Structure 1
Amino acid sequence: MGKQLSWCTQSMMQIKKMDERFPKPLSQSSFCPKALYCAGNQDLFRQKAVAIIGTRNMTAYGKQATRHFVRQAVEQGWCVVSGLAVGVDQCVHESTLEFGGKTIAVVAGGLSQITPQSNEFLARNILKQGGLVCAEYDDAVPTEKWRYLQRNRIIAGMCSAVIVVEAGFPSGTFSTVNWALQLGRDAFVISGPYFSPYAEGTKILINNGAMLITSLKDVHDELRMPYICIKRDEKTTEFETKMLETMRQFPTGARVDEVVALGSFDRSTCLSALFDLEMRGIVVKNGAKYMIAV
């Protein structure tokens, strides 16, 4: 039995590199830690895993994109990995749990020190719903900035692919992508609003070898994995319903500014909703115009 953790009822267990429970993809890396300290469902180390990461300063658009890709990942049977930081990481873990999936959180310091402390509640929920929280260090090691960069090699190493939602410049996300490429993993980025400061980093990542994607199917195609198309009974939010009603005033399609002006919508919120509706197949984009799918 391992040491009791202060923030949850479970005990911390050490899994050494040579242990059969240790994540195999990570164990084959030359940058592999000697051991991992874990709380939760260690069987997740044997599942296919994808990392979804991004900025701490997540925008409304970033939240929509994160939830969209997490939902697809859960539907395709992926274990979703992230770093339990605020922003995109937090949204990744919360969305995975909401959609009924399993998630692994890799923290930068010792396992007894969840940073930020406000995410201890989220860490407990991850464990309650069959997830896992792990770290390279035991409970005595404090969280320091340089350990976040070192932690990123573990996130990249245990996953088949890394997906970046939003990244400014400079960004710690670059570290995870660089580790992924060094380890022979595929790295992907989601396109963001062109003038957003949190799209600057993703543009640079594309130039450095990451691949632009619009759907998780793009990831499956690159990994040569089958992708199961899932039909949903789509429900729209109150805002989405109002926006769709506005779009019906434009039978041949509407530009974003036309929808914003007629409906008196916030432009960034409108863009985020259009992105999500397009990904769900409710609207289609034709050039600069959006139309409701028939």
Structure 2
Amino acid sequence: MNSQLHLQNNDVTAWLTLASAQRVSPKLWLEALKRLQLSPFALANDSKTLPEDVKPLTGQISQPLIDAALRWCQASSNRHIITLSSPYYPQLLKQLDSPPLVLFATGDKQLLQKPQLAIVGSRRASLQGKRIANDIAFGLSSSGIAVTSGLAMGIDSAAHQGAMSGSTGTVAVMGTGPDKIYPTKNSKLYDLINSEGGVTITEFFPGQGPKPWHFPRRNRIIAALSLGTLVVEAKIKSGTLITANLAADMGREVFAVPGSIFHAYSEGCHWLIQQGAKLVTNINDILVEIGVQPAQISLQVDEQNEKSTANSLATDKLLASVDYDITAIDVIAQRNAISVSQAMASLLEYELRGLVAAVPGGYVKLRGK
């Protein structure tokens, strides 16, 4: 057992070593491995005997990045380094021309083996858009589909929250190192995902903060991981449409939710529908297209709801005191005979789970009793 563990550690360190060469694309490493018929360990450690055309690649290896990655992983049993050869590495991701050699994951790494559906959209989403993303994500998660998104504000956050209220969970793909949360406002959501059955993943090494060029790379992973990508709200010129186009280029399904012709954030969805994206009005439009029939689900939705924390929270008096229209915080506090500060602290938990949303003037209920 110890020798097996030693081999696993060697394998992880070898892939980390190759990945630490940030200026070398994974594709070049994979081509070298195939051409030279070497293991990652041999390629990473036998630089003196390598052909001259490969030595410049090994010269890019960064020991500080390797050390930082190992320290990060060893600090918690909830942290994982998933290499290209790991059984937890998503098979769909291997279809990329240049797949990440390692993924840094926090949370339930087994979730990466579940079928996934991406939900993406505007950071400045409307309340209606966030409700739609939340409800569809909840439905997909309750149907055995993990919901994948990018941990951004707006549609991404609503999708993660809805999925966490369901029975399957969510995959958050980060555009930073695993220890750098962006935006920082989503720190609590990040913690919730990692501690309650979800998983956050990234190809960026610990310590690496947000850079403009990180997010297109993140978007390609979101598209690649998923059987399809649903766009809820997006402008014509946006990173959301880039993700949708990446999904289409990979042969994956693209879905879009229609909206008002007077709303700028509907333009991207309408353009996608004109280009052949599947118009979505409910989750069955998605499930049928990706080959999952509601009748095939092993658990009934009511049964799944009973098992979800969201449903138990939904019976709470505090949630019942929030209306589907805007409810002022002082009204909520008065209905529950508690202080405003106590009400706000309690409502934060509901907000993180996608049951209520904070809006100008108070809160609105998204789901529940």
TM-score (norm: length of structure 1):
0.74
- C-alpha displacement of 1:26: 0.8
1: CA distance, partners of 2:166 / 2:92? 26
Aligned to 2:19: none
Aligned to 1:97: 164
Work out which of the two has the higher radius of gyration on C-alpha atoms and give 1 or 2.
Answer: 2
The one of 220, 241, 260 aligned to 1:174: 241
| Residue aligning to 1:266 | none
SS at match of 1:4: helix
What secondary structure is seen at the aligned counterpart in 2 of 1:162?
A: strand
- Cα pair 1:10 1:40 within 8 Å, conserved: no
| 1:1-294 matched pairs, under 5 angstroms | 2-4=70-72, 12-228=79-295, 238-239=323-324
Per residue, is there more strand in 1 or in 2? 1
Q: 1:29 deviation in Å?
A: 2.4
Larger RCO: Structure 1 or Structure 2 (Cα < 8 Å, ≥ 6 residues apart)? 1
How many pairs are equivalent? 242
Query: Which structure 2 segments of 5+ residues have no match?
Result: 1-8, 10-69, 306-313, 315-319, 326-363
Whose helix fraction is larger, Structure 1's or Structure 2's?
2
> What CA distance in whole angstroms lies between the structure 2 residues aligned with 1:120 and 1:100?
22
- Superposed CA deviations along residues 179-238 of structure 1, whole A, max 9, x for unmatched, are 1111111010011122111101111222333221111111122223212396769x9974
Deviations 1:35-64 (A, max 9, x none): 211111110111111111110011011022
Asked if 1 retains the 8 angstrom alpha-carbon contact of 2:135 and 2:162, the reply is no
Instruction: Quote the offset at 1:10 in angstroms.
Output: 5.4
* Residues 83 and 101, structure 2, Cα contact 8 Å, conserved in 1: yes
Distance change (3 Å), C-alpha of 1:239 and 1:29: closer
Secondary structure in structure 1 of the residue aligned to 2:117: strand
* Cα distance in structure 1, aligned partners of 2:223 and 2:97: 13
Give the share of equivalent positions with the same residue, in percent: 28
Question: Distance between the aligned counterparts of 2:155 and 2:252, measured in 1?
Answer: 21
What SS does the aligned partner of 2:292 have? coil
- Give the partner amino acid of 2:84: K
Paired residue secondary structure (2:213): helix
Write the distance in 1 (CA, Å) between the matches of 2:102 and 2:182: 21
Of 8-17 and 75-84, deviating more is 8-17
| AA partner of residue 162 (structure 2) | S
Task: State the Cα RMSD in Å.
Answer: 2.8
* Structure 1: segments with no counterpart, 5+ residues: 241-272, 278-294
- Matches of 1:50 and 1:226, distance apart in 2: 15
Quick check: 29-38 or 186-195, which moved more? Answer: 29-38
Structure 1 counterpart of 2:175, one-letter code: A
